[in-house]
């Protein structure tokens, strides 16, 4: 998921144990999320941020992101609406 202003990206991963981890990256100067759609499919050039988790479910990861990232709700709604 990419913030509406394009400055941050939240990515969710499932690890070998079946738990989920999320990373938050900030776009560096002169960097882009080239090749990515709003759901973060292909990605490149992010500046490492922080890792959250582990989470048992995708829903738990979404709830944590909603609590931690002010921009996440708007990006999620926009993505669900196909914007």
What residues does each domain of the chain span?
A: 8-80
Contact by Cβ (8 Å): 61, 53 = yes
Question: Using CA atoms, how far apart are residues 73 and 30, in angstroms rounded to an integer?
Answer: 26
Whether the pTM exceeds 0.85: the reply is no
| 8 Cβ neighbours under 8 A, 6+ residues apart | 2, 24, 25, 26, 27, 49, 69, 71
pLDDT band at 15 (very low <50, low <70, confident <90, very high): very high
Residue 51 is predicted with a pLDDT of 85
Which whole-number Å values give the CA distances from 40 to 17, 36, 43, in the listed order? 23, 5, 6
């Amino acid at each position: 998921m990419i913030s509406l202003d394009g400055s941050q990206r939240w990515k969710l991963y499932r690890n070998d144990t079946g738990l989920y981890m999320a990373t938050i990256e900030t776009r560096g100067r002169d960097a882009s999320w080239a090749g990515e759609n709003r759901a973060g499919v292909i990605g490149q050039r992010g500046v490492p941020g922080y890792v959250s988790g582990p989470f048992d479910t995708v829903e738990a990861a979404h709830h944590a992101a909603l609590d931690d990232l002010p921009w996440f709700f708007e990006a999620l709604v926009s993505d669900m609406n196909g914007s």
